[in-house]
Amino acid sequence: MIENIFENELKERGIFRDLAVLSPHYIPQELPHREEEANGISRIIAPILRNEKPNNIFIYGKTGTGKSCVVKYVIRKLEDIVKDPSKNPNKSEVVVVYMNCRMGYGSKYQVLVKLLEDPSFQKDYYKNTPLKDRHDNKVSGLNPTELYERLKKVIESNSINLIVILDEIDMIKDNDDIIYILTRINDEITSGHVSIIGISNRYTFKENLDQRSKSTLCEEERVFKPYNASQLKTILHQRVKLGFQPRSISDSHVALIAAYAAQTNGDARYALKLLQKAGEIAQSSKRKRVKIEDVKEAKIKVEEDIVGELITTLPEHQQIVLYSIAEIASKGSHYKRLSDMPTDVLFSGEIYESYERICKNINKNPRSMRWFREYLNDLEMLGLITHSPSGKGVRGNTTLIRLGNPPEDVKKIVSASLGLS
Protein backbone atom coordinates (compact mmCIF):
# COMPACT_ATOMS: atom_id res chain seq x y z
CA MET A 1 0.00 0.00 0.00
CA ILE A 2 2.57 2.53 1.11
CA GLU A 3 4.83 1.66 -1.80
CA ASN A 4 1.94 2.39 -4.12
CA ILE A 5 1.43 5.79 -2.63
CA PHE A 6 5.05 6.71 -3.17
CA GLU A 7 5.14 5.29 -6.68
CA ASN A 8 1.95 7.04 -7.69
CA GLU A 9 3.35 10.30 -6.45
CA LEU A 10 6.10 10.00 -9.05
CA LYS A 11 3.99 8.58 -11.83
CA GLU A 12 1.19 11.10 -11.79
CA ARG A 13 2.68 14.49 -12.27
CA GLY A 14 -0.82 15.69 -11.54
CA ILE A 15 -1.67 19.32 -11.28
CA PHE A 16 1.29 20.78 -9.47
CA ARG A 17 4.64 21.55 -10.95
CA ASP A 18 6.29 22.90 -7.81
CA LEU A 19 4.51 22.92 -4.48
CA ALA A 20 7.18 24.99 -2.75
CA VAL A 21 6.12 27.99 -4.81
CA LEU A 22 2.75 27.97 -3.08
CA SER A 23 4.23 28.04 0.40
CA PRO A 24 3.89 31.33 2.28
CA HIS A 25 7.65 31.22 2.92
CA TYR A 26 8.54 31.25 -0.76
CA ILE A 27 10.19 34.47 -1.90
CA PRO A 28 9.55 35.03 -5.62
CA GLN A 29 11.86 36.85 -8.02
CA GLU A 30 9.33 39.61 -8.47
CA LEU A 31 7.05 41.06 -5.82
CA PRO A 32 3.97 42.41 -7.55
CA HIS A 33 2.31 45.43 -5.87
CA ARG A 34 5.05 45.75 -3.30
CA GLU A 35 7.70 47.43 -5.44
CA GLU A 36 7.31 50.73 -3.64
CA GLU A 37 7.60 49.17 -0.22
CA ALA A 38 10.64 47.16 -1.29
CA ASN A 39 12.29 50.23 -2.79
CA GLY A 40 11.56 52.26 0.32
CA ILE A 41 13.12 49.73 2.63
CA SER A 42 16.08 49.30 0.31
CA ARG A 43 16.66 53.04 0.40
CA ILE A 44 16.63 53.02 4.18
CA ILE A 45 19.17 50.24 4.55
CA ALA A 46 21.36 51.20 1.57
CA PRO A 47 23.81 53.33 3.62
CA ILE A 48 25.05 50.07 5.08
CA LEU A 49 27.14 49.66 1.92
CA ARG A 50 29.10 52.75 2.94
CA ASN A 51 29.47 51.32 6.46
CA GLU A 52 26.96 53.80 7.80
CA LYS A 53 24.25 52.83 10.21
CA PRO A 54 20.81 52.57 8.60
CA ASN A 55 17.81 53.82 10.54
CA ASN A 56 15.78 51.33 12.48
CA ILE A 57 12.54 50.36 10.79
CA PHE A 58 9.17 49.41 12.19
CA ILE A 59 6.84 47.64 9.78
CA TYR A 60 3.21 47.17 10.54
CA GLY A 61 0.43 45.45 8.60
CA LYS A 62 -2.22 42.74 8.88
CA THR A 63 -1.38 39.08 8.21
CA GLY A 64 -0.75 38.23 4.59
CA THR A 65 0.18 41.74 3.48
CA GLY A 66 3.72 40.74 2.53
CA LYS A 67 5.71 42.25 5.41
CA SER A 68 8.12 39.39 6.00
CA CYS A 69 8.24 38.61 2.31
CA VAL A 70 9.32 42.13 1.33
CA VAL A 71 11.95 42.29 4.04
CA LYS A 72 13.43 38.91 3.11
CA TYR A 73 13.32 39.90 -0.55
CA VAL A 74 15.25 43.10 0.04
CA ILE A 75 17.75 41.33 2.28
CA ARG A 76 18.39 38.71 -0.37
CA LYS A 77 19.20 41.45 -2.89
CA LEU A 78 21.42 43.17 -0.37
CA GLU A 79 23.32 39.98 0.37
CA ASP A 80 23.85 39.37 -3.35
CA ILE A 81 25.49 42.75 -3.65
CA VAL A 82 27.58 42.38 -0.54
CA LYS A 83 28.95 39.06 -1.75
CA ASP A 84 29.99 40.53 -5.09
CA PRO A 85 33.35 42.35 -4.63
CA SER A 86 32.83 44.55 -7.67
CA LYS A 87 29.59 45.88 -6.24
CA ASN A 88 30.86 46.23 -2.70
CA PRO A 89 33.95 48.44 -3.02
CA ASN A 90 33.93 49.38 0.67
CA LYS A 91 34.02 45.69 1.61
CA SER A 92 31.21 46.13 4.08
CA GLU A 93 30.83 43.25 6.47
CA VAL A 94 27.08 42.84 6.53
CA VAL A 95 25.38 40.28 8.72
CA VAL A 96 21.63 39.88 8.74
CA VAL A 97 19.96 37.73 11.35
CA TYR A 98 16.29 36.97 10.93
CA MET A 99 14.23 35.56 13.73
CA ASN A 100 10.57 34.93 14.25
CA CYS A 101 9.92 35.88 17.83
CA ARG A 102 6.96 33.53 18.08
CA MET A 103 9.22 30.55 17.47
CA GLY A 104 11.17 30.48 20.69
CA TYR A 105 12.82 33.89 20.62
CA GLY A 106 10.38 35.47 23.00
CA SER A 107 12.76 37.07 25.48
CA LYS A 108 15.79 39.32 25.33
CA TYR A 109 17.96 36.47 26.54
CA GLN A 110 16.86 34.16 23.76
CA VAL A 111 17.33 36.88 21.16
CA LEU A 112 20.92 37.46 22.29
CA VAL A 113 21.69 33.74 22.26
CA LYS A 114 20.20 33.36 18.82
CA LEU A 115 22.30 36.25 17.54
CA LEU A 116 25.55 34.77 18.80
CA GLU A 117 24.69 31.29 17.61
CA ASP A 118 23.48 32.25 14.16
CA PRO A 119 25.64 30.53 11.54
CA SER A 120 25.96 33.55 9.29
CA PHE A 121 27.13 35.49 12.30
CA GLN A 122 29.58 32.89 13.47
CA LYS A 123 31.45 31.47 10.54
CA ASP A 124 34.60 33.59 10.44
CA TYR A 125 33.93 36.43 12.75
CA TYR A 126 35.27 34.84 15.86
CA LYS A 127 38.70 34.74 14.26
CA ASN A 128 39.11 38.47 14.82
CA THR A 129 37.65 38.28 18.24
CA PRO A 130 40.16 37.84 21.02
CA LEU A 131 37.97 35.95 23.42
CA LYS A 132 39.58 33.44 25.71
CA ASP A 133 36.87 30.82 25.32
CA ARG A 134 36.29 31.43 21.66
CA HIS A 135 36.97 27.86 20.59
CA ASP A 136 33.59 26.68 21.75
CA ASN A 137 30.71 28.56 20.24
CA LYS A 138 28.32 27.54 22.94
CA VAL A 139 26.84 30.63 24.49
CA SER A 140 23.77 29.35 26.30
CA GLY A 141 24.42 29.32 29.99
CA LEU A 142 26.18 32.65 29.96
CA ASN A 143 24.37 35.41 31.73
CA PRO A 144 22.90 38.31 29.76
CA THR A 145 25.68 40.74 30.62
CA GLU A 146 28.32 38.37 29.29
CA LEU A 147 26.25 37.74 26.18
CA TYR A 148 26.01 41.45 25.65
CA GLU A 149 29.73 42.00 26.13
CA ARG A 150 30.58 39.21 23.76
CA LEU A 151 28.19 40.46 21.09
CA LYS A 152 29.66 43.91 21.41
CA LYS A 153 33.21 42.61 21.10
CA VAL A 154 32.47 40.48 18.05
CA ILE A 155 30.73 43.34 16.29
CA GLU A 156 33.43 45.87 17.10
CA SER A 157 36.51 43.79 16.35
CA ASN A 158 35.11 42.68 13.00
CA SER A 159 33.42 45.98 12.07
CA ILE A 160 30.16 44.19 11.46
CA ASN A 161 27.14 46.02 10.11
CA LEU A 162 24.46 43.99 11.79
CA ILE A 163 20.79 44.02 10.89
CA VAL A 164 18.51 42.22 13.30
CA ILE A 165 15.09 41.37 11.93
CA LEU A 166 12.56 40.74 14.66
CA ASP A 167 9.47 39.28 13.02
CA GLU A 168 6.37 39.31 15.20
CA ILE A 169 8.27 41.54 17.59
CA ASP A 170 5.13 41.92 19.68
CA MET A 171 5.68 38.36 20.92
CA ILE A 172 8.80 39.39 22.85
CA LYS A 173 7.95 39.77 26.50
CA ASP A 174 10.53 42.41 27.38
CA ASN A 175 10.64 44.20 24.05
CA ASP A 176 11.56 47.54 25.61
CA ASP A 177 14.70 45.91 27.01
CA ILE A 178 15.82 44.23 23.83
CA ILE A 179 15.40 47.39 21.77
CA TYR A 180 17.37 49.33 24.36
CA ILE A 181 20.11 46.71 24.64
CA LEU A 182 20.62 46.37 20.90
CA THR A 183 20.75 50.08 20.25
CA ARG A 184 22.96 50.82 23.23
CA ILE A 185 25.70 48.80 21.56
CA ASN A 186 26.02 51.60 19.01
CA ASP A 187 26.95 54.09 21.71
CA GLU A 188 29.66 51.88 23.12
CA ILE A 189 31.57 50.77 20.05
CA THR A 190 33.70 52.71 17.60
CA SER A 191 33.38 50.41 14.63
CA GLY A 192 30.43 48.44 13.30
CA HIS A 193 26.81 48.96 14.35
CA VAL A 194 23.44 47.36 14.91
CA SER A 195 20.12 48.27 13.36
CA ILE A 196 16.73 46.73 13.92
CA ILE A 197 13.87 45.89 11.63
CA GLY A 198 10.78 45.16 13.70
CA ILE A 199 7.72 43.55 12.13
CA SER A 200 4.33 43.37 13.78
CA ASN A 201 0.74 42.82 12.81
CA ARG A 202 -0.59 44.61 15.82
CA TYR A 203 -0.46 48.35 15.84
CA THR A 204 -1.26 48.45 19.55
CA PHE A 205 2.22 47.02 20.09
CA LYS A 206 3.74 50.39 19.30
CA GLU A 207 1.51 52.17 21.79
CA ASN A 208 2.62 49.81 24.55
CA LEU A 209 6.30 50.60 24.10
CA ASP A 210 7.80 53.16 26.38
CA GLN A 211 8.62 56.52 24.83
CA ARG A 212 12.33 55.93 24.46
CA SER A 213 12.04 52.56 22.71
CA LYS A 214 9.26 53.87 20.53
CA SER A 215 11.32 56.71 19.13
CA THR A 216 14.31 54.40 18.73
CA LEU A 217 12.54 51.64 16.88
CA CYS A 218 10.29 53.84 14.80
CA GLU A 219 12.96 56.02 13.21
CA GLU A 220 11.37 54.82 9.99
CA GLU A 221 7.87 53.46 9.88
CA ARG A 222 6.07 51.64 7.10
CA VAL A 223 2.48 50.49 7.00
CA PHE A 224 1.51 47.67 4.65
CA LYS A 225 -2.06 47.87 3.38
CA PRO A 226 -4.09 44.75 2.60
CA TYR A 227 -4.14 43.62 -1.02
CA ASN A 228 -7.30 44.17 -3.05
CA ALA A 229 -8.84 41.52 -5.31
CA SER A 230 -7.05 42.52 -8.50
CA GLN A 231 -3.68 42.68 -6.76
CA LEU A 232 -4.25 39.24 -5.27
CA LYS A 233 -5.10 38.05 -8.76
CA THR A 234 -1.71 39.02 -10.18
CA ILE A 235 0.05 37.46 -7.21
CA LEU A 236 -1.85 34.22 -7.72
CA HIS A 237 -1.19 34.24 -11.46
CA GLN A 238 2.50 34.52 -10.79
CA ARG A 239 2.43 31.52 -8.46
CA VAL A 240 0.19 29.51 -10.78
CA LYS A 241 2.65 29.99 -13.59
CA LEU A 242 5.47 28.60 -11.48
CA GLY A 243 3.66 26.09 -9.33
CA PHE A 244 0.97 24.56 -11.52
CA GLN A 245 1.09 22.58 -14.75
CA PRO A 246 0.05 24.68 -17.76
CA ARG A 247 -3.69 25.02 -18.30
CA SER A 248 -4.57 23.21 -15.08
CA ILE A 249 -6.48 26.12 -13.62
CA SER A 250 -8.42 28.78 -15.48
CA ASP A 251 -8.17 32.54 -15.04
CA SER A 252 -11.73 32.83 -13.84
CA HIS A 253 -11.10 30.35 -11.05
CA VAL A 254 -8.01 32.24 -9.96
CA ALA A 255 -10.12 35.38 -9.97
CA LEU A 256 -12.66 33.70 -7.71
CA ILE A 257 -9.96 32.73 -5.23
CA ALA A 258 -8.67 36.30 -5.27
CA ALA A 259 -12.18 37.57 -4.60
CA TYR A 260 -12.62 35.19 -1.66
CA ALA A 261 -9.30 36.27 -0.17
CA ALA A 262 -10.06 39.94 -0.70
CA GLN A 263 -13.13 39.50 1.48
CA THR A 264 -10.97 38.08 4.25
CA ASN A 265 -8.81 41.17 4.85
CA GLY A 266 -6.85 40.84 1.60
CA ASP A 267 -4.74 38.10 3.11
CA ALA A 268 -2.34 36.73 0.47
CA ARG A 269 -1.42 33.80 2.66
CA TYR A 270 -5.06 32.74 2.77
CA ALA A 271 -5.29 33.12 -1.00
CA LEU A 272 -2.33 30.81 -1.48
CA LYS A 273 -3.84 28.26 0.87
CA LEU A 274 -7.05 28.30 -1.16
CA LEU A 275 -5.12 27.88 -4.36
CA GLN A 276 -3.17 24.94 -3.03
CA LYS A 277 -6.22 23.27 -1.49
CA ALA A 278 -8.21 23.62 -4.73
CA GLY A 279 -5.36 21.95 -6.58
CA GLU A 280 -5.17 19.15 -4.03
CA ILE A 281 -8.89 18.48 -4.28
CA ALA A 282 -8.71 18.24 -8.07
CA GLN A 283 -5.64 16.05 -7.86
CA SER A 284 -7.16 13.66 -5.36
CA SER A 285 -10.05 13.00 -7.73
CA LYS A 286 -7.51 12.37 -10.50
CA ARG A 287 -8.45 15.33 -12.65
CA LYS A 288 -6.03 17.40 -14.67
CA ARG A 289 -7.90 20.65 -14.25
CA VAL A 290 -9.33 22.51 -11.29
CA LYS A 291 -13.09 22.92 -11.43
CA ILE A 292 -15.08 25.74 -9.89
CA GLU A 293 -16.56 23.29 -7.40
CA ASP A 294 -13.04 22.52 -6.22
CA VAL A 295 -12.49 26.17 -5.40
CA LYS A 296 -15.74 26.38 -3.49
CA GLU A 297 -14.94 23.19 -1.61
CA ALA A 298 -11.43 24.45 -0.90
CA LYS A 299 -12.87 27.55 0.72
CA ILE A 300 -14.98 25.45 3.08
CA LYS A 301 -12.09 23.09 3.83
CA VAL A 302 -9.58 25.84 4.49
CA GLU A 303 -11.97 27.64 6.78
CA GLU A 304 -12.67 24.41 8.65
CA ASP A 305 -8.95 23.84 8.97
CA ILE A 306 -8.39 27.32 10.32
CA VAL A 307 -11.25 27.09 12.82
CA GLY A 308 -10.31 23.54 13.80
CA GLU A 309 -6.71 24.53 14.34
CA LEU A 310 -7.79 27.57 16.33
CA ILE A 311 -10.08 25.57 18.61
CA THR A 312 -7.80 22.60 19.24
CA THR A 313 -4.90 24.83 20.27
CA LEU A 314 -7.07 26.63 22.81
CA PRO A 315 -6.50 26.01 26.54
CA GLU A 316 -8.69 23.24 27.90
CA HIS A 317 -11.13 25.41 29.81
CA GLN A 318 -11.67 27.77 26.90
CA GLN A 319 -12.60 24.75 24.85
CA ILE A 320 -15.06 23.67 27.52
CA VAL A 321 -16.59 27.14 27.56
CA LEU A 322 -16.96 26.98 23.80
CA TYR A 323 -18.56 23.58 24.11
CA SER A 324 -20.98 24.92 26.70
CA ILE A 325 -22.05 27.65 24.33
CA ALA A 326 -22.52 25.14 21.50
CA GLU A 327 -24.49 22.87 23.83
CA ILE A 328 -27.02 25.55 24.74
CA ALA A 329 -27.14 26.86 21.19
CA SER A 330 -28.16 23.44 19.89
CA LYS A 331 -30.51 22.50 22.74
CA GLY A 332 -32.11 25.90 23.09
CA SER A 333 -32.03 28.34 25.96
CA HIS A 334 -34.41 28.12 28.91
CA TYR A 335 -33.73 31.67 30.09
CA LYS A 336 -36.43 34.29 29.82
CA ARG A 337 -35.94 36.38 26.73
CA LEU A 338 -37.64 39.13 24.79
CA SER A 339 -39.93 37.97 22.01
CA ASP A 340 -37.88 39.57 19.24
CA MET A 341 -34.61 38.06 20.45
CA PRO A 342 -33.12 35.39 18.17
CA THR A 343 -32.85 31.97 19.82
CA ASP A 344 -29.13 31.63 19.12
CA VAL A 345 -28.31 34.63 21.28
CA LEU A 346 -27.36 33.50 24.78
CA PHE A 347 -26.82 35.10 28.18
CA SER A 348 -23.42 34.85 29.80
CA GLY A 349 -25.11 33.67 33.01
CA GLU A 350 -26.67 30.60 31.49
CA ILE A 351 -23.43 29.77 29.76
CA TYR A 352 -21.59 29.80 33.07
CA GLU A 353 -24.19 27.43 34.56
CA SER A 354 -23.78 25.07 31.64
CA TYR A 355 -20.00 25.36 31.90
CA GLU A 356 -20.09 24.44 35.60
CA ARG A 357 -22.32 21.45 34.84
CA ILE A 358 -20.04 20.15 32.09
CA CYS A 359 -16.97 20.58 34.27
CA LYS A 360 -18.68 18.53 36.97
CA ASN A 361 -19.52 15.81 34.47
CA ILE A 362 -15.91 15.41 33.39
CA ASN A 363 -14.48 15.83 36.89
CA LYS A 364 -12.75 19.17 36.46
CA ASN A 365 -13.25 22.05 38.80
CA PRO A 366 -14.62 25.08 37.02
CA ARG A 367 -12.78 28.37 36.95
CA SER A 368 -14.25 31.32 38.77
CA MET A 369 -16.81 33.52 37.12
CA ARG A 370 -14.33 36.36 36.86
CA TRP A 371 -11.93 34.27 34.85
CA PHE A 372 -14.77 32.84 32.82
CA ARG A 373 -15.47 36.37 31.63
CA GLU A 374 -11.86 36.71 30.53
CA TYR A 375 -12.31 33.50 28.56
CA LEU A 376 -15.34 34.93 26.81
CA ASN A 377 -13.30 37.99 25.87
CA ASP A 378 -10.51 35.80 24.52
CA LEU A 379 -12.94 33.77 22.44
CA GLU A 380 -14.40 36.97 21.08
CA MET A 381 -10.98 38.29 20.14
CA LEU A 382 -10.35 35.10 18.21
CA GLY A 383 -13.64 35.53 16.38
CA LEU A 384 -15.08 32.26 17.66
CA ILE A 385 -18.00 34.06 19.28
CA THR A 386 -19.46 37.52 19.01
CA HIS A 387 -20.73 39.44 22.01
CA SER A 388 -22.67 42.61 22.58
CA PRO A 389 -23.92 44.45 25.65
CA SER A 390 -27.53 43.55 26.45
CA GLY A 391 -28.92 47.07 26.21
CA LYS A 392 -32.68 47.04 26.61
CA GLY A 393 -33.21 43.48 27.75
CA VAL A 394 -34.41 41.25 30.49
CA ARG A 395 -31.54 41.12 32.85
CA GLY A 396 -29.87 44.42 33.35
CA ASN A 397 -26.24 44.70 32.59
CA THR A 398 -25.21 41.49 30.89
CA THR A 399 -23.56 40.30 27.72
CA LEU A 400 -25.24 38.51 24.87
CA ILE A 401 -23.23 35.78 23.23
CA ARG A 402 -23.55 34.27 19.81
CA LEU A 403 -21.49 31.39 18.46
CA GLY A 404 -19.52 32.17 15.30
CA ASN A 405 -19.71 28.65 13.84
CA PRO A 406 -22.36 25.93 13.62
CA PRO A 407 -22.80 24.42 17.12
CA GLU A 408 -22.61 20.83 15.92
CA ASP A 409 -19.24 21.45 14.23
CA VAL A 410 -17.86 23.13 17.33
CA LYS A 411 -19.05 20.29 19.57
CA LYS A 412 -17.46 17.74 17.26
CA ILE A 413 -14.11 19.51 17.22
CA VAL A 414 -14.00 20.04 20.98
CA SER A 415 -15.08 16.51 21.89
CA ALA A 416 -12.43 15.08 19.59
CA SER A 417 -9.82 17.41 20.98
CA LEU A 418 -10.60 16.80 24.65
CA GLY A 419 -11.71 13.19 24.29
CA LEU A 420 -15.24 13.83 25.50
CA SER A 421 -18.00 11.34 24.87
Partner DNA sequence: CCTCCACAGGAAGCGCAGGAGT
Partner DNA sequence: ACTCCTGCGCTTCCTGTGGAGG
Amino acid at 397: N
Q: Return phi, psi of residue 55, to 5°.
A: -65, 150
Q: Where are the beta strands (DSSP E) in 193-251?
A: 193-200, 220-224
User: Nearer to DNA by C-beta: 296 or 337?
Assistant: 337
User: Nearer to DNA by C-beta: 131 or 369?
Assistant: 369
The sign of the torsion formed by the CA atoms of 274, 222, 98, 141 equals negative
Instruction: Output the smallest distance, CB 107 to DNA, in A.
Output: 5
User: Nearer to DNA by C-beta: 161 or 348?
Assistant: 348
Separation between Cα atoms, residue 35 and residue 356, nearest integer Å: 55
SS3 144: helix
**C-beta of residue 160 within 8 angstroms of C-beta of residue 192:** yes
Q: Is 245 left (phi over 0), alpha (psi -120 to 50) or beta?
A: beta
Q: Which residues pair with 385 in a beta bridge?
A: 403
User: Nearer to DNA by C-beta: 172 or 290?
Assistant: 172
Q: Is beta strand 57-61 parallel, antiparallel or unpaired with respect to 220-224?
A: parallel
User: Nearer to DNA by C-beta: 332 or 396?
Assistant: 396
Instruction: Output the smallest distance, CB 370 to DNA, in A.
Output: 4
Instruction: Output the smallest distance, CB 229 to DNA, in A.
Output: 36
User: Nearer to DNA by C-beta: 56 or 107?
Assistant: 107
**C-beta of residue 344 within 8 angstroms of C-beta of residue 403:** yes
User: Nearer to DNA by C-beta: 313 or 377?
Assistant: 377
Instruction: Output the smallest distance, CB 356 to DNA, in A.
Output: 11
DSSP 156-187: HHHTEEEEEEEETGGG-TTHHHHHHHHHHHHH
**C-beta of residue 198 within 8 angstroms of C-beta of residue 105:** no
Instruction: Output the smallest distance, CB 389 to DNA, in A.
Output: 7
User: Nearer to DNA by C-beta: 107 or 283?
Assistant: 107
Instruction: Output the smallest distance, CB 7 to DNA, in A.
Output: 44
Instruction: Output the smallest distance, CB 134 to DNA, in A.
Output: 20
Inter-axis angle of helices 292-312 and 316-331, to 10 degrees?
A: 120
Longest CA–CA span in the chain (Å) reads 80
Instruction: Output the smallest distance, CB 409 to DNA, in A.
Output: 25
DSSP 90-124: T--EEEEEEEETTTT--SHHHHHHHHHH-HHHHTT
Residues of the shown chain interacting with DNA in the complex, contacts defined by CB under 7 A:
107, 109-110, 143-145, 173-174, 315, 317, 347-350, 352, 365-371, 373, 376-377, 391-399
SS3 385: strand
Q: What is the DSSP letter of 57?
A: E
How many residues are present in the chain?
A: 421
User: Nearer to DNA by C-beta: 209 or 254?
Assistant: 209
Instruction: Output the smallest distance, CB 372 to DNA, in A.
Output: 7
